[in-house]
Amino acid sequence: MRLFLLLVLALTTACSPARRGGSGDGDSDDSHEPNDSAEAAADVDCGDSLQGTAADADWFTWDTGDAGPVVVQITWTDGDADLTVSLEGPDGAVSCDEDGLSVSCSAQAAAGTWLLGVIPLDDAAASYGIGIECTAAPGDDDDDDDDATDDDDAADDDDATPADAVNNEQGLVGRAFSVDFESATFVEPPGVGAILQSQLGDTEMLCDILPSSDLSAGEIHYVFAMGDGFGGQDYCQVTTQPTWGNDGVVGTSDDQPGVWDNPYFEMGPVEGMSLTVDGLPMMLNSFEMTGVFTPSGNAIVDGTLDAVIDTRPLAPLLDEEGGPSAICDLVSETIGVSCVECGAPNPGQFCLNLSIEDSEAQPTGDTLAIRTCSDILGDFACEDEWQSWDEDGDGFPELCE
């Protein structure tokens, strides 16, 4: 359940937990206000040394004119609040390391905009200092290609030249691949990418190309399943079959096959796609996934994943009395991000955009089994799962209705 409580987790945990200092005034603030959200971030510059007080969330932004290393150091000077740090650069979320009363974040990144958030996790205030250092990388250039001075992608040697084709494309069929979220770049929702990544880093989402695919005609059929935490499939979670259409049968008029252009693939967009995570149904709209297979077929690189996530099923887990907008209200108040229209088949302004780039996937050595609600309800090894789906205790699990 924890895996996709996206912004609930983003607001209560962090990739770099802070520590406590001395005493502080919970009503104090600083001259950088108002900078309480990512959208209202205060403008700063490379080389700045700042002092601030986090009585509420503080956000800062700056631009780097050249590619190169960026180092951000945050040091707590007083206060008794717990603070969390979120840093995103032009290439996405940046990991940070904690050392006593300080947090250090560093990355080699392209030129562009940076966003830093210092967020308290309670009502107390804490003072802090920030140092920002930016250095241009010698020999790096502005060309979007791989050359002797820089490496801009994993798929090919030069973006002007297509990536090499998979040697045996039929060998891709019936092989499950596990998407690696830990090495990916979280682009949306803005301002919390590093935190989301720290929560989703050990999530296993498996994808398998089915024998019903017609690769010679440029069509692929695929399924998704959740992993068991050890590289295999979780047989107590429903398998998602997005390309088979509403009738769940391949080869009919409502099929939505993906596109195959060796070695590139595109899956989606798929509306009303349901994934089950730890027994929790997740509804995704406008789900799209792309990537590039390596010539050996033993990895997927340069992957992207985009979706619109319906927060309504998650809202009661945050606040049983808060109604369907509970998570949207929290996100808007805390980091200034507004929910968007979900669209068909269940419209309403209760959705959040999710965008992930630069993901990779490795083969698991298995083929995914198609597991339906009926399969799981009839499997006593999955009793804990299917009992948890029966929210009202009437003997009919809502997930399978």
Among 240, 32, 49, smallest CA distance to 129 is for: 49
| pLDDT tier, 4 (very low <50, low <70, confident <90, very high otherwise) | very low
| pLDDT tier, 200 (very low <50, low <70, confident <90, very high otherwise) | low
| pLDDT tier, 61 (very low <50, low <70, confident <90, very high otherwise) | very high
State the amino acid at position 141 in one-letter form.
D
Of 209 and 52, which is predicted with more confidence? 209
State the amino acid at position 83 in one-letter form.
L
Q: Is the pLDDT of residue 51 over 60?
A: yes
3-state secondary structure of 331: helix
| pLDDT tier, 5 (very low <50, low <70, confident <90, very high otherwise) | very low
- For tokens 């080389």, what's the residue? 47
| pLDDT tier, 12 (very low <50, low <70, confident <90, very high otherwise) | very low
DSSP letter, residue 193: H
Q: Is the pLDDT of residue 259 over 90?
A: yes
Among 188, 58, 63, 73, smallest CA distance to 129 is for: 73
Q: From CA 341, how far away is CA 349, in angstroms rounded? A: 4
pLDDT of the residue at 287: 84
pLDDT of the residue at 349: 92
> Over pLDDT 90: what percentage of the chain?
9
pLDDT of the residue at 27: 42
Helix boundaries (H) for 171-262: 193-200
| pLDDT tier, 215 (very low <50, low <70, confident <90, very high otherwise) | very high
Q: Is the pLDDT of residue 328 over 70?
A: yes
Distance between alpha carbon 340 and the CA centroid of its chain, in Å? 17
Concatenated DSSP letters of 126-156: EEEEEEEEE-PPTT--S-SS--SS----SS-
The highest-confidence range among 91-100, 109-118, 210-219, 306-315, by mean pLDDT, is 210-219
Q: Hey, how many other C-beta atoms are within 10 angstroms of the C-beta on 167?
A: 13
Q: What is the mean pLDDT of residues 13-19?
A: 34
Among 276, 241, 274, 240, smallest CA distance to 256 is for: 241
Of 90 and 65, which is predicted with more confidence? 90
* Average pLDDT value for the chain: 75
**In 210-350, beta strands by DSSP E:** 219-220, 222-226, 258-261, 264-270, 273-277, 280-293, 300-310
3-state secondary structure of 345: coil
Q: Is the pLDDT of residue 352 over 50?
A: yes
pLDDT in tens, 329-340: 877 877 777 888
pLDDT of the residue at 13: 34
Q: What is the mean pLDDT of residues 19-43?
A: 64
pLDDT of the residue at 219: 92
Q: From CA 339, how far away is CA 351, in angstroms rounded? A: 5
pLDDT of the residue at 398: 57
Tally DSSP H helices, then E strands, for the chain.
6, 21
pTM of the model: 0.59
Q: Is the pLDDT of residue 265 over 90?
A: yes
| pLDDT tier, 153 (very low <50, low <70, confident <90, very high otherwise) | very low
